Chain A
Amino acid sequence: NAGVTQTPKFRVLKTGQSMTLLCAQDMNHEYMYWYRQDPGMGLRLIHYSVGEGTTAKGEVPDGYNVSRLKKQNFLLGLESAAPSQTSVYFCASSYSHDRPAREQYFGPGTRLTVT
């Protein structure tokens, strides 16, 4: 049981390049989330998904797109990377059952640098 995994762990992009971050969970969780973490700002929600085939915007969605084609995977895309997107990105998942706001389980993070 690997929990939540993220690939890649590190990446350096040039301004204007694109990339996709992959998140996978093996806990059969319904909900999945993408956050970015910046110093002094805690975690800010980028996008989230409440089920396969559904996505929604979070607090800071601009410049990002997501897809949830399979229940276990949640992809975060940057179409044209900007230096302001230099950050550590975390994926999380949580169980829906009868209490939506259950605890979230986090992946190890992806450190992205945009030059």
Chain B
Amino acid sequence: AQSVTQPDIHITVSEGASLELRCNYSYGATPYLFWYVQSPGQGLQLLLKYFSGDTLVQGIKGFEAEFKRSQSSFNLRKPSVHWSDAAEYFCAVGDPNDYKLSFGAGTTVTVRA
């Protein structure tokens, strides 16, 4: 079974600064990979996804993620953070032959002015 680790529980970043959120997964082959964002009191919204092909994936809200097979990682990045990016971010991994996703514990991002 697959598993996901998000090493950073909480990150604080200044508005306008760059952001990188780490995600490491455990899976025998190439999984499906996702990043979701959850604003306070809201459900989860898909930011981006990776199934195959180009390892650099562009998403909504100016986010991108890079799949690195050798490191079993799928880190999320944003060049310049806005105050509205303050939220909790979840990485998820799925088995291409299964119906379920495994989620990481999440990283909370605080944006300071």
Contact = CB atoms under 8 A, between A and B. Distances in A.
B43 A101 contact: no
A33 B44 CA distance: 13
Chain A: number of interface residues, binned into ranges: 20 to 34
Nearest to B91: A42
Contacts, number: 61
Interface string A74-104: 0000000000000000101010000111111
A41 B105 contact: yes
A48 B31 CA distance: 20
A100 B99 contact: yes
Interface string B39-61: 00111111001010000000000
B85 interface: no
Contacts of B96: 99-101
Interface string B88-99: 001000111111
A45 B95 CA distance: 15
Interface residues of B, number: 27
Contacts of A108: 42-43
B103 A101 contact: no
A48 B44 contact: no
Nearest to A9: B41
Which among B31, B43, B101 has the greatest number of chain A C-beta atoms within 10 A?
A: B43
Contact of B46 (A58, A103, A109): A103
Contacts of B9: 40
Contacts of B49: 103
Interface in A30-60: 31, 33, 40-45, 48, 50, 58
A58 B97 CA distance: 16
A57 to B, nearest CB: 11
Interface of B: 4, 9, 31-32, 34, 36, 41-46, 49, 51, 90, 94-101, 103-106
Interface of A: 4, 31, 33, 40-45, 48, 50, 58, 90, 92, 94, 99-109
28 contacts: A31-B99, A40-B9, A42-B4, A42-B90, A42-B105, A43-B44, A43-B90, A48-B100, A58-B100, A90-B44, A94-B99, A100-B97, A100-B99, A101-B32, A101-B96, A101-B97, A101-B98, A101-B100, A101-B101, A103-B34, A104-B46, A105-B46, A106-B36, A106-B44, A106-B45, A107-B43, A108-B42, A109-B41
